[in-house]
Amino acid sequence: MKRFRRRPGPRAAPRKPVFPGLLLIFAPLLVFPFLFSCRDGNPGEETMVLYSRAAAVYAQGGFTETASMLEKINNFTPALVLRAKALYFNGQGEEARKLLRRALRRHPGSAEASLFLARILHEQEKDAEALVVIETLLRDNPQDLRALRLAAALAARREDAEDAAAFLDRAVEASAETALIFIDRAKLRWTAGNGSGALEDLRRAELLLPWNTPLIRGIKDLRSVLEAAADRSGEKP
C-alpha cells in the first residue's frame, strides 16, 4: 500500500508574540496615572525644612517673608499653596490666583487651594468661576464651613435668599458637629487633669451651638460642675 508523502512547500512564518505590541500600546495608560500621583515626587530634605520654616513664619503673620522663602520652590504643591496664601494675605490677589491655579493643575484635589482660589474669584467678582470651584469642593466635602459660607455669599450676591439660607443652615449643622468635637476633647482633657483646657473647650462648644437647646443646657450644667470642681482644687478655670 502506497503511502502519500506530503510535498515539501514553503513553511509558514512563525507567529510574532502579541504581548510586546500590546504593552507598547497600553504602557502610557499604565505609566501616566503613576506619574500623575507622584508629580510632587520626593521634595527632598532641604525643601521640607524650608517649607516647615516658612509655615512657622506664616503662622506668625510674616506673609512677605513667607512668600520670599518659598519663591524658588515650584515642584512641591503644599509650598505653592502656602506661598499663594501668603501673597493673598499680603494683598497680592492676582499673583496668588495664578499660583493656586498652578497648584491645582498639579494636584486637583487640594481643598485648601480650591477654597482660596474661590475666595479670590469671589473678591474679583468672577462669581461664575468661583461657583464652579465651590460646587466641586462641596461635592467632595459637603460640611466644609468655609466653603458653605462662601457659597452663601455667592447666592446672596445673585439675590437668591433661599439658596443663601440653605447653605447657612448646612453651615449651622456642621458647626454643631464641630461643637461635639470640642465636647469630646473637653472630656479627654478633664480626665487627663487639664481642667482649664476642658473648660475652654466647653466655652467654645457653647459659642457654636444654637441657644436654648437641650445640648447647650447640658453643656452649661457640665461647665458649672467643672468650674466648681476646679475652684475646690484651687485650679483657675
Q: What is the residue extent of each domain of the chain?
A: 174-237
Q: Mean pLDDT, to the nearest integer, of 90-116?
A: 94
pLDDT band at 174 (very low <50, low <70, confident <90, very high): confident
How far apart are alpha carbons 39 and 33 in whole angstroms? 10
Tens-place pLDDT, residues 180-225: 888 889 889 888 988 888 888 888 888 877 666 666 677 777 777 7
Q: Which residue's C-alpha cell is 493643575?
A: 105
Determine contact, residues 199/192, Cβ cutoff 8 Å: no
Query: What percent helix, strand, coil does the chain show, rounded to 5?
Result: 75, 0, 25
Where b means 16+ CB within 10 Å and e means fewer, 94-130 reads eebbebbeebbebbeebebbbbbbbbbbbeeeebeeb
What is the model's pLDDT at position 79? 95
Angle 103-139-90 from CA coordinates, rounded to 5°: 40
What is the model's pLDDT at position 235? 55
User: Helix (H, G, I), strand (E, B), or coil: what is residue 16?
Assistant: coil
> Is the pLDDT confidence value at 118 over 50?
yes
More confident residue, 141 or 34: 141
**What region does 125 belong to: left with phi over 0, alpha with psi -120 to 50, or beta?**
left
Q: Mean pLDDT, to the nearest integer, of 86-115?
A: 94
User: What is the pLDDT of the chain when averaged over all its residues?
Assistant: 80
pTM of the model: 0.66
Determine contact, residues 68/50, Cβ cutoff 8 Å: no
Strand ranges (E), 180-231:
none
Q: Which residue's C-alpha cell is 505609566?
A: 31
- Could you give the percent of the chain with pLDDT greater than 90? 48
Dihedral Cα 50, 51, 57, 62, nearest 10 deg: 100
